[in-house]
C-alpha cells in the first residue's frame, strides 16, 4: 500500500510542477537606418550577430527583432506566466554598456529577413522602431554590462513578467502555436550591445523559455480527483 501511495503522490506532484515551454529560435536580424544589416553586396543576412545600438552610433544604430516558434501541443494558463530570455555576449572593441528594452511585437507576419521593409527610425528614439511591427510595447528592461572586447560567451539572463494585454496575447500565441516576436532595442543613445545570433558559430543565439508557474497550485477539481484516487487505493487494499 505504501508503494501505491508513493506512486500516486509522485503523480500528483508531477501534475502540480511548473510547466515550461522551450521555444525554437527561427530567425533574427539587425535593423539599421539603411534597413536590415546584410553583407556580400546585400545578398547575405547578418544573423551571426544580434546587436542593439543607440542613436549615437549613427549608421550603425539598430534594433534587433527575433522570432521564436512554439512547439505543437504546448499549453499554458492565463496567470503566473514568466519569460526567461538568454542572450550570449559576443563583444567587440565598440561594445558599450547601457540600458536595453525588450519589446513584444504583435505583428509576426512582416518579414524581418532579407528584403524586409524595416528600418531604424531616427525620428522614433530611443528604440528606433516607432509604429513598425504594430507599435510594440516594452515588455521589460535591463542593463547591458560590458565595455570593450571582453566577456564574450557570458550569458545574460533576462526575466520578463507579462501582464494585461501582453499576457493575454502571449497565452493565446502559445495555446494556438503561434510565433512569438521580441525586439531587442536601445533604451539610451550610447549603448552598443553585441550578442550572438542564430548563425553564430561560436555562441548560442537567443533562447526563450516560457514558464507557467500557475500550474504549481492544483485546481480544486484536481485536488478532489486526487483525494478520490487515494481513497480508492485504500479501499482496494482493504
What is the per-residue pLDDT for 213? 83
- Give the rounded distance of the alpha carbon of 114 from its chain centre: 22
What is the per-residue pLDDT for 19? 83
Q: How far apart are the first and last CA of the chain?
A: 9
From 3.30.50, 1.10.540, 2.60.120, 1.10.10, which CATH number describes the 23-215 domain? Answer: 2.60.120
What is the per-residue pLDDT for 123? 97
What global pTM score does this model have?
Answer: 0.85
- Give the rounded distance of the alpha carbon of 33 from its chain centre: 24
The pLDDT tens digits of the residues spanning 16-26 come to: 445 899 999 99
What is the per-residue pLDDT for 155? 98
Write the CB contacts of 230 (distance below 8 Å, at least 6 apart in sequence).
5, 8
Confidence check: pLDDT of 230 > 80: no
Cell, residue 207: 533562447
What is the per-residue pLDDT for 27? 98
What is the per-residue pLDDT for 224? 42
Categorize the per-residue pLDDT at 214 as very low, low, confident or very high, splitting at 50, 70 and 90: confident
Average pLDDT, the chain: 88
Categorize the per-residue pLDDT at 1 as very low, low, confident or very high, splitting at 50, 70 and 90: low
What is the per-residue pLDDT for 215? 54
Output Rg (C-alpha) for the chain, integer angstroms.
22
Confidence check: pLDDT of 46 > 50: yes
Categorize the per-residue pLDDT at 154 as very low, low, confident or very high, splitting at 50, 70 and 90: very high
The pLDDT tens digits of the residues spanning 187-202 come to: 999 999 999 999 999 9
Amino acid at each position: 500500500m505504501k508503494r501505491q501511495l508513493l506512486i500516486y503522490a509522485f503523480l500528483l506532484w508531477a501534475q502540480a510542477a511548473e510547466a515550461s515551454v522551450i521555444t525554437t529560435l527561427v530567425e533574427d536580424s539587425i535593423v539599421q537606418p539603411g534597413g536590415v544589416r546584410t553583407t556580400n553586396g546585400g545578398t547575405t543576412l547578418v544573423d551571426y550577430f544580434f546587436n542593439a545600438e543607440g542613436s549615437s552610433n549613427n549608421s550603425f544604430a539598430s534594433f534587433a527583432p527575433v522570432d521564436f516558434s512554439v512547439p505543437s501541443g504546448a499549453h499554458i494558463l492565463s496567470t503566473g506566466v514568466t519569460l526567461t530570455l538568454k542572450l550570449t555576449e559576443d563583444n567587440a572593441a565598440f561594445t558599450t554598456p547601457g540600458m536595453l528594452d525588450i519589446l513584444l511585437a504583435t505583428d509576426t507576419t512582416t518579414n524581418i529577413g532579407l528584403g524586409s521593409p524595416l528600418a531604424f527610425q531616427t525620428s522614433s528614439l530611443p528604440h528606433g522602431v516607432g509604429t513598425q511591427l504594430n507599435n510594440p510595447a516594452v515588455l521589460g528592461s535591463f542593463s547591458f554590462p560590458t565595455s570593450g572586447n571582453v566577456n564574450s560567451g557570458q550569458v545574460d539572463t533576462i526575466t520578463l513578467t507579462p501582464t494585461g494585454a501582453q499576457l493575454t496575447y502571449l497565452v493565446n500565441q502559445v495555446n494556438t502555436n503561434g510565433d512569438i516576436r521580441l525586439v531587442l532595442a536601445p533604451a539610451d543613445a550610447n549603448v552598443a550591445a553585441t550578442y550572438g545570433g542564430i548563425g553564430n558559430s561560436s555562441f548560442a543565439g537567443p533562447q526563450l523559455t516560457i514558464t507557467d508557474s500557475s500550474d504549481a497550485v492544483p485546481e480544486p477539481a484536481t485536488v478532489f480527483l486526487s483525494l478520490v484516487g487515494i481513497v480508492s487505493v485504500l479501499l482496494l487494499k482493504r
